[in-house]
Amino acid sequence: MFVGLPVEFVDGFLPVKSLVFELSRRFNAKQMGFSTHTQSKAAHEALLSRQEAELRLLETMRRCITNKVKCDKDYALALSSVSSQGQKNDRTEELQGSLVARAWKGMMEELEQAAKLVKSNAELIEKETLEKLNTLCQEKRKAKKSYLEEYNRITQQFTNICEEVARKKADYQKHLEFYRLMRSRFEEYYVKSGRGGRKLDDVRDKYQRACRRLHLVHNEYVLLLSEAEQVQKDVKTSLLPALFNHHQSSLQSFIVNWRSILKEISLHWNCSSKQFIDIWSRSEALVETVIAANEYLDLQQKQLLNGTTEITDFTFDNSLVEDTSGKLQANTLTVDNLTVEWVRNKMLEVEPRLKDCQEKLSNKNPELQDLNEVALAELRCEEKKLTRQYEVIKKALTELGCEEAPPGCDIPLDTSLDGSQDNNSIDSGSVRKQSLPSPPLPPPQSQPTSIVDILRKPFRRKSVPSSPLGSRHNVNQSTSRSLVDEEWFHGVLPREEVVRLLTREGDFLVRETTRNDENQTVLSVCWGGHKHFIVQTTAEGQFRFEGPAFNTIQELISFQTSSQLPVTGRSGAILRTPIPRERWELNNDDVILQDKIGRGNFGDVYKGRLRATDEEVAVKTCRVTVAEEHKRKFLQEGRILKQYDHPNIVKLIGICVQKQPIMIVMELVVGGALLTYLRTNASVVTTKQLVNMCRDAAAGMKYLESKNCIHRDLAARNCLVGQNNTVKISDFGMSREEEEYIVSDGMKQIPIKWTAPEALNFGKYTTLCDVWSYGVLCWEIFAKGGVPYPGMSNSKAREKIDAGYRMPAPDGTPEDMYRLMLRCWEYKAENRPHFDQIHNIVDNFSSTLR
């Protein structure tokens, strides 16, 4: 019935297969979608107001067309009456053969035909066009109601999680107050009584139960915040965009239908007179201006200023953990003897739900194609939420590993009846619970001064004497060698690198780590997964695991290797193959630091010299005080660079992880940063030199693209200038070796003016994002170190880019190079060239210059 509209749209919605295809086609067209610009409350209300106005316009059109049909019928009747009257003639016989009479009779017959045509057109509009208009009005009301119901459901989901977070926080505060009360009572009773007994045990049990409940509520709060943050992200980036895209497609289909009705009316109202032809032409011209794709542009432009949905700050309230002696950490699950079973049960609860979601989203699931876009988006959001919870829990259990028994609360529960610990390590977070003995009173002269001392002192671990096997065992190991000299000692290499090196059963190495500001030596072994054991130190200063103690760690490792005894009985781990340091792992003493030449995100950059070859190098250092997570990010650059070899990529020489500070050693590029070079030499560099710099950068990025490496921070400040003005890509701190990388940690430290729109709006990075950044880099080169989007703030530049603005060419830029920049700045990533094309273009252009 609807002209120009697929029959599937008659009910207001397409079947899923057609819907996905249609939405994909329209969403990828050159237009702005509702998902980007209509998430604010004001935009939502404006959209509803617009739809109400459209419904009122439809009612007005229906009334006018009804009146016009009535007028046309009356006009047709009048024309027919005139025709009948004109054909009556009492003197027909006398006028037989008259040319005038014949002409008049023909004119009256044609007038009758005109009357029939006017009546026929009026009846067609009444039976068909008005029916289409009524149907369109009904379907628009249904679509508006459906959109409003779905919008309210999604926003209510977010409101519910916000209220749940508030309730959980209040619950947290209540248990925190009770915990403080129980701790205060215990302190008060212990100090006043001055002795033990049944009452002391009761008070301590209440305190311990309060502590356990506080830890459980803490974990529930952490997971709920994680869920809330994911729900908010999904509402903003998935659920609302999916709803808006679907609703926009429905509204645009109505516009197509509406245009069809207008065109049909215009055709039926067309007459052959000059006046009616002019009217019809003007009407047809006006109809032709109705384009569905442009119908809502004005609405969207006005709502750009209203912004998007406000983001609730789901951050952990640090005041909740200030009085927990450091046992509870913000945004971190507490896995100890009080909570480990809860965490494991939570893992068992989350894991099957996650697998179920993944199976539903699998391409092999025949029911997947029956889901509409909104339902599919909800299922994907549920999968993301469960994945995030699973990762939080798994990370907590993995970090527990085997390195040490979890500290628990103020009272260690894992104790034997004589008050001593019965194990030196713990595997995969396993904890054994035993009853607490009544602690003996300390002597008056050693009275504890804090609640921690009061609780811990009676249960202090006893020193384990060296086994006689230690003295009898013949260890062929020199004690004169330093631990640093051992090939299997990897210094402060992070756990992620260790896991990468240990691949076969029995592979092992030794490293150092820091826990609670204390340096510890750790044995890492591949055995049914990756296990990590802290080397225990006896009261006599010897080293051991569960077996005999030795004077040096080398002797201990040699004994474990030669005896083939398990490191611990519980783990069963046996040492077979020591894993030596990789060739790029240098000793810190191999590098001599000289002048400071810069400053990075994690520490200072020095000019240095290799002691063995006297080669000059650049050395990036990592401050000792930075968090372990930042140290891992610092070493990520070295991990990426070590496998690359290209004249336009800065070369890695080695990484120093034997001791602090961690250092990355790279080739010394004599010209320094490209940005500084351009500004210093702005008056002397030639156009050919600038083009060659762009060519060098393209060659380096072409190489990285072939390695599936996304740089993510390509800019003049992160390029270096070597001999003969050769440009080298540097600073891989934000790089990822993936075809596609999705940012999940917000927009911190993102270089806004260099970053592609899809990365800023959706956190999605591909090598085509680097192409956008390359266009900005070329602009910097020809601007000779100028600041992109001069005079604009980051937010203003981002807003103007989304609106279609592109920077003009700097003075003196060749036209071919500016055209390439514009291609790199295509809003849709798939329309940008890849780096192999870019390199060919710039290389060919460079060869034409002199």
Between CA 553 and CA 217 the distance in angstroms is 42
Q: 637 and 651 in contact (C-beta within 8 Å)? A: no
Between CA 664 and CA 634 the distance in angstroms is 9
Phi, psi (deg, nearest 5) at residue 356: -60, -45
Between CA 770 and CA 755 the distance in angstroms is 8
Tokens of 643: 């496998």
Between CA 206 and CA 757 the distance in angstroms is 56
| Angle between the N-to-C axes of helices 687-706 and 835-847, in degrees from 0 to 180, rounded to the nearest 10 | 150
Q: 775 and 697 in contact (C-beta within 8 Å)? A: no
From the list 839, 801, 840, 836, the residue with the least C-alpha distance to 822 is 801
Secondary structure element (H or E) that encloses residue 596, with its range? strand 591-599
Q: How many angstroms separate the Cα of 379 from the Cα of each of 24, 279, 542? A: 19, 54, 56
Q: How many angstroms separate the Cα of 733 from the Cα of each of 342, 596, 629, 634? A: 37, 20, 13, 7
Q: Looking up tokens 């390695």, which residue turns up? A: 707
Q: Looking up tokens 């965490």, which residue turns up? A: 343
Q: 333 and 321 in contact (C-beta within 8 Å)? A: no
222: amino acid identity, one letter: V
Q: Which residues pair with 621 in a beta bridge?
A: 663
Phi, psi (deg, nearest 5) at residue 189: -70, -40
What single DSSP character describes residue 593? E
Helix (H, G, I), strand (E, B) or coil at 564: coil
**Is 202 annotated in the active site?**
no
Q: 337 and 431 in contact (C-beta within 8 Å)? A: yes
Q: Which region, left, alpha or beta, applies to residue 662 given φ > 0 means left and ψ of -120 to 50 means alpha?
A: beta
Set 427, 713, 731, 770: catalytic member:
713
The dihedral of CA 107, 108, 113, 116: what is its sign?
positive
From the list 770, 778, 747, 749, the residue with the least C-alpha distance to 760 is 747
- CA-based angle 218:222:227, to the nearest 5? 145
3-state secondary structure 116-148: HHHHHHHHHHHHHHHHHHHHHHHHHHHHHHHHH
Contact residues for 226 (Cβ-Cβ < 8 A; gap 6+): 388, 389, 392
Between CA 297 and CA 315 the distance in angstroms is 37
Secondary structure element (H or E) that encloses residue 719, with its range? strand 719-721
Q: Are strands 585-586 and 577-578 parallel, antiparallel or unpaired?
A: unpaired
Phi, psi (deg, nearest 5) at residue 530: -110, 125
Q: 248 and 38 in contact (C-beta within 8 Å)? A: no
Between CA 199 and CA 383 the distance in angstroms is 50
From the list 571, 563, 565, the residue with the least C-alpha distance to 529 is 571
Contact residues for 21 (Cβ-Cβ < 8 A; gap 6+): none
Within 10 angstroms of residue 102's Cβ, the number of other Cβ atoms is 12
Cis omega (within 30 of 0) for bond into 661: yes
The dihedral of CA 159, 163, 168, 173: what is its sign?
positive
Within 10 angstroms of residue 718's Cβ, the number of other Cβ atoms is 22
C-alpha of 597 from chain center: 34
Residues noted as catalytic: 713
